[in-house]
Amino acid sequence: MADVSERKLIELHGALAGPTVIFVGSLHGNEPAGAQALRRLGALLADREGLRGDVWGFVGNVRALKERRRFLSRDLNRRWNDAVTRAQPSTDDAEALEQQELWGELRAALAQARGPVFLVDLHSTSAPGIPFALTADTLPHRDFAAHFPLPTLLGLEEQVDGVLTEWMSAQGCVTLVVEGGQNEDPATLVNLEAVVWLALVAARVLDEAAVPEAAQAYATLNRARGTLPQFIEVLGRRALSADSAFRMEPGFANIEPVREGQLLAHDKHGEIRASSDGFVLMPLYQRQGDDGFFFGREVSSLSLGLARVSRQLKLDALLPLLPGVEGVGANRLKLGPAAVEAYPPSVFRLFGYRRSVRTGDSFELVRRPAPSSPRRS
């Protein structure tokens, strides 16, 4: 078993009950800045006055971090599902051991929670880029993300199965993923430290007055965001196959505003141009990958407000009454072929349905369940 102090970097319990904030850093071992930020802030936080509730900080992948490798046998951020609670780790799968140990710590933190639980997962990227956040599309997730002046992508996290934040959301937590910048860039550490300070205030384990660092933290992230909007929703994905011959045009940042008709890339069929104004997200410049880029657009403050009101009024209860739409549980809709034609996807996105799965000629739309109180396990 890895030394507990190598995994657990922060454990603080306020005298008063309150929320819990859990930080995970370096879930990918080639992303050292997350663990570094937690190590530094743990020391600074140890004797902070006025703490309510509980703060935890964990290294995600201790073994891979030692070797500065993304993972040793399998990506630790693609295997969080019900198997977590059953799996007996095999000795030749380092990440199975990592997962077992990390889940043990997370479960203990959840069991001790005295209020709502927030989890912030700190990452960085191999390519240089603007720091940004990803969150699931529920109102509590949106509200928490709004405290961070980062471009926040809605609808990207839902496209990947088995991520830690999906699992922890299912345990009742409000979660946020932050990509702080390039793996080894010193600015990435500064950005992730800023995220930690703001998270403590956003979750209300500390009052803003008790965190003089928060103003500087806000300014740091706000400057990095520049003129990018705060919320961007993902509308599409350029999927690649082995013979696509995809070539991204040079010069796109990881989040890049584009105009309708702008040349984005080439593939074997010719030019790929933007079909509308919007944002190119995560353009592929490495040789490997299945996603050429994602395409998104700003979520205006009007549609943020509209989503809030219609969800608070529970208007989504009306969706299964639409002809051709069938409700399957609280967070899944089945659309027949006629319904796929009849209703614009924006109607469903308004209520957080951001993932669609094709089954024959019909579609299933899926959304993340809104977090309730933490499940005690």
Enumerate binding residues for Zn ion (CB under 5 A): 28, 31, 123
Q: Which residue, among 160, 164, 157, has the nearest Cα to 99 in the 3D structure?
A: 164
Point out which residues pair with 255 in neighbouring strands: 281
How near is the Cβ of 15 to Zn ion at its closest, in Å? 35
How near is the Cβ of 285 to Zn ion at its closest, in Å? 17
Q: Which is nearer to Zn ion, 73 or 262 (CB)?
A: 73
Q: Which is nearer to Zn ion, 30 or 222 (CB)?
A: 30
Q: Which is nearer to Zn ion, 31 or 157 (CB)?
A: 31
How near is the Cβ of 235 to Zn ion at its closest, in Å? 24
Q: Which residue, among 106, 97, 103, 102, has the nearest Cα to 54 in the 3D structure?
A: 106
DSSP 8-class letter at 27:
S
Burial of 148 (0-12, 13-18, 19+ CB in 10 A): buried
How near is the Cβ of 56 to Zn ion at its closest, in Å? 19
How near is the Cβ of 26 to Zn ion at its closest, in Å? 8
How near is the Cβ of 196 to Zn ion at its closest, in Å? 16
Q: Please tell me the distance from the alpha carbon of residue 228 to that of residue 251, in angstroms, as a whole number.
A: 17
Distances, alpha carbon 204 to alpha carbons 75, 147, 348, in Å: 32, 11, 32
How near is the Cβ of 300 to Zn ion at its closest, in Å? 30
DSSP 8-class letter at 371:
P
Alpha-carbon torsion, ordered 306, 310, 311, 317, to 10 deg: -150
Tokens coding 84: 């977590």
How near is the Cβ of 31 to Zn ion at its closest, in Å? 5
Distances, alpha carbon 311 to alpha carbons 82, 164, 306, 334, in Å: 28, 26, 8, 19
Tokens coding 168: 């922890």
How near is the Cβ of 212 to Zn ion at its closest, in Å? 30
How near is the Cβ of 123 to Zn ion at its closest, in Å? 3
Q: What 3-state DSSP class applies to 346?
A: helix
Q: Which is nearer to Zn ion, 31 or 98 (CB)?
A: 31
Q: Which is nearer to Zn ion, 185 or 249 (CB)?
A: 185
200-204 contacts at long range (C-beta below 8 A, 24 or more positions apart): 200/21, 200/45, 200/55, 201/147, 202/118, 202/144, 202/147, 202/148, 203/19, 203/20, 203/21, 203/53, 203/116, 203/118, 203/144, 204/18, 204/19, 204/52, 204/53
Q: Which is nearer to Zn ion, 28 or 141 (CB)?
A: 28
Q: Please tell me the distance from the alpha carbon of residue 111 to that of residue 105, in angstroms, as a whole number.
A: 10
Contact, 128 vs 182, CB < 8 A?
Answer: yes
